[in-house]
Amino acid sequence: MSENRLARETSPYLLQHAHNPVDWYPWGEEAFARARTEDKPVLLSVGYSACHWCHVMERESFENPEIAAAMNAGFVSVKVDREERPDVDHIYMQAVQSLTGRGGWPMTVFLTPDGTPFYGGTYFPPEDRHGLPGFPRLLAALADAWRSRRAEVVQSGREITESLSQTDRLRRSATLLGDEILFSAFSGISSQFDEEWGGLGGAPKFPQPMIWEFVLRFFKRTGNPYAKRMVHTTLIRMARGGMYDQLGGGFARYSVDAHWMIPHFEKMLYDNAQLASLYLHAWLAFGDPECRRVCEETLDYVLREMTDPAGGFYSAEDADSEGHEGKFYVWTADEIRAVLGADADRALAYWGVDRGPNFEGTSNLFLAGEPDPESVAPLRRRLLERRARRVRPGRDDKVLAAWNGLACRAFAEAGRALGRPDYVAAAARNAEFVLDAMRHDGRLLRTWKGG
């Protein structure tokens, strides 16, 4: 199959799958009508364009003619961009978490023709590996169950639906916030705090900006010194680690280790917008110039790399370039010496490269000591100029209204607080763009791409 139905879509993620041999459908009634007519279950695959493991599963399974043939024979396959359809993603992610106790992307869910989930997970390898069933074996088992043990499948779907309904009823019975709830929430967060490296728990570690906004506000409300320490430790550790792009600014989505050193390299607009706001609020609360610098470098990254000429902000940058995760960002010592010559030893020590490779034989940069941004600025600029010649990761250039709202707020707040008229102008231009280009018949549209 040279081209499937996804070729008519505008989502960069769906278009990435337009030439798979899988007979993909976008989300909609057409797919479910076919499932009912042919009496087949629906295979729902949800991801997003910057997702590394989504690309891995595509290469291993969706581009494999034999696996695609099994999908086409036994299922009606539906592809969803979670950023276009967060409602669909949310519903079925709850089901996967109920089934497996965890979630993530790519999300793989098997549905009855009426949309009821009966089995699900995230990434599945092409053969049995690391305790996960191989995707072909899973397809065969579920197709057989649908044909020969239909009652069990339907019952499984009913049980999942009832479990989700109970959870929803509990969620709707929420009470108003009061001091007891606030102190209880802080107690729960502080019990998971990593005293040395900041953040919560162990690996993997996510930045979780809304949690740290809560802890920061809790400190401002109560004066609790431990809350201040928690926020400050977390923000400084993240900013000095490899999850933060030490040359170009901006944060990757999460760290695979507990020390913020090695990220999954995709950069998301919503993360960077919220983190820029968080670092701004921390600077206003603590007066730490490092927080101000990280806020500005993050917003400068968004302006430089994630801004549409019309004024919208793009959604994400991929983790991979030239088929390798992180290739755009990592360095060898020899590469740095070739760029910096006699100045290389200082850079190697400053960004921790002299400690040896930390990512697949190369080095992902981090601050090995105290920051000294002014003195290393010429070195940073030269390395950034050389890095710009590399093949950039793919960029998801769709504009999402909700994420643009987060970024618009970050630019407006930072522009006012930091005396940056360029940030204020970016916020105003973005607001005008959203109101002019993303409204139809009085309704705010969720997504825009290329007009």
CA gap 383, 139 in Å, rounded: 47
**Domain ranges (residues) in the chain:** 5-172, 179-306+321-328
Strand partners, 240: none
The answer, yes or no, to whether residue 173 has pLDDT greater than 70, is: no
| d(C-alpha 408, C-alpha 428), whole Å | 8
Q: Is the pLDDT assigned to residue 407 strictly greater than 70? A: yes
pLDDT tens for 260-301 read 999 999 999 999 999 999 999 999 999 999 999 999 999 999
Residue 159 pLDDT grade (very low, low, confident, very high; cuts 50, 70, 90): confident
Q: Does residue 212 register a pLDDT over 90?
A: yes
CATH number of 5-172: 3.40.30.10
**CATH 3.40.30.10, applies to 179-306+321-328:** no
Has residue 255 got a pLDDT over 80? yes
Task: Give per-residue pLDDT as tens, 77-112.
Answer: 999 999 999 999 999 999 898 888 888 999 999 999
Instruction: Check residue 342 and give its pLDDT.
Output: 96
> Cα–chain-centroid distance for residue 137?
29
> Are 5-172 and 179-306+321-328 equal in CATH topology?
no
Provide, rounded to the nearest whole percent, the portion of the chain with pLDDT above 70: 97
Distance between CA atoms of residues 40 and 439, nearest Å:
38
Angle at 262 between CA 261 and CA 266, to 5 degrees: 125
Confidence of residue 323 (pLDDT cuts 50, 70, 90): confident
Q: What is the mean pLDDT of residues 226-246?
A: 98
CA–CA gap between residue 99 and residue 297 (Å, rounded): 41
pLDDT score recorded for residue 231: 98
Kindly write down the DSSP assignment for every residue of 34-74, as one continuous string.
HHHHHT--EEEEEE-TT-HHHHHHIIIIIT-HHHHHHHHHH
pLDDT tens digit sequence for 353-362: 999 999 999 9
Per-residue pLDDT at 172: 65
Percent of all residues in the chain with a pLDDT value above 90, rounded to a whole number: 87
pLDDT category of residue 175 using cuts at 50, 70 and 90: low
pLDDT at residue 395 tops 80? yes
Residue 203, token pair as written in the block: 């690996």
> What's the rounded Cα separation, in Å, for the pair 396 and 437?
18
pLDDT above 90 (res 116): yes
**Distance of alpha carbon 402 from alpha carbon 184, whole angstroms:** 30
Distance CA(368)–CA(332), nearest Å, equals 16
- What pLDDT score does 131 carry? 81
Confidence (pTM): 0.83
pLDDT tier at 166, thresholds 50, 70, 90? confident
270 contacts: CB under 8 Å, gap ≥ 6: 402, 403, 406
Name residues whose C-beta falls within 8 Å of residue 227's C-beta, 6 or more positions apart in sequence: 186, 190, 215, 216, 218, 219
